[in-house]
Amino acid sequence: MTWQFNFILPTEFVTQSLRSLLINEWLLPKHLIFSLKQDKRVLVNGGYLPVNFEVKAGDQIQLTFEPSDFAHANPQTTPDSAATVEVLFENDDLLVVNKTRGSKTHPNQPEETGTTLNHVAAYLQPKGEQPYILNRLDQETSGALLIAKNPVVVPIMTELIKTKRIKRTYLTWVHGHFDQAEGIIDAPIGRDPEDKRKRLVNGLNPQNAVTHYRVLRQVNDASLLEVQLETGRTHQIRVHLSSLNHPIVGDPLYATDGKQRLLLHSWKMGLLLPFTFEPIEIEANEPDDFKLFERQTK
């Protein structure tokens, strides 16, 4: 199996070297460019062109990738029922699904099934495609989850995530009211030395973590927050809000309310599409149990 991409450079394209286009514009890693160049699998207007030559608006670019270009070209995720897959966005390269609460993002063992990635593998199987994980959500967190449909776009999207050009916004109900309408939590997160399942502000081997929040609504003794992450540490939202004495409703690790449902939802995702870098925004509707909690709390 190979993956072939064909592009016509747009009229506003600024003339530059083919190398600059591949590295700086399209964010392809150097090892892929080396393979394309070595095997002459990068064509300009139908012919091979050394990467130091210039390309201009209207030129036709063809890239062909082979499995040997990638460390994990065929992840072999076991397909397991596409019935629960709710597609929020799909094109030739990417898929955004509305992950259900209680479903793990991906399997931890080769033959494991029942995770969101297994369900997506079943959805993609009739198309001859496989899922490649790009971001993760905790098992009890629902909402927008980004998945690649080929290995070519994985390093591109990984770079966009790393450089914070992909924006993820969460909804969450937390205990208590806030004195201010919005705020920033800048506190490193490490492991909890007393519970290996948990994380802790200033715990073991702490890593920088920054969370932005805005209060949307407050009812009785609970607040609905819009939350954005600058970093993506394990349990970051849960730990940061708990450190303010506003744990998430239903959090089995950081709250003691006995609720059955962690009220944390990946609500919106601002994406840049690979190669074109067209911006789009995807929204996973507020879950019904969020609305039920609000009605019961009023």
The upper half-sphere exposure of residue 84, i.e. CA atoms within 13 Å in the direction of its Cβ, equals 19
- Residue 294, both tokens: 């609000």
Q: Is 80 a catalytic residue?
A: no
Q: Which helix (H) or strand (E) holds 7?
A: strand 3-8
Which of 138, 179, 186, 288 does the annotation list as catalytic?
Answer: 138
Report the 10 Å Cβ neighbour count for 271: 22
In angstroms, the CA 7 to CA 232 distance is 33
In angstroms, the CA 236 to CA 218 distance is 22
> What torsion do the CA atoms of 164, 167, 170, 176 make, to the nearest 10 degrees?
60
Q: Which helix (H) or strand (E) holds 27?
A: none
* 60 DSSP β-pair partners: 8
Active site residue ranges: 138
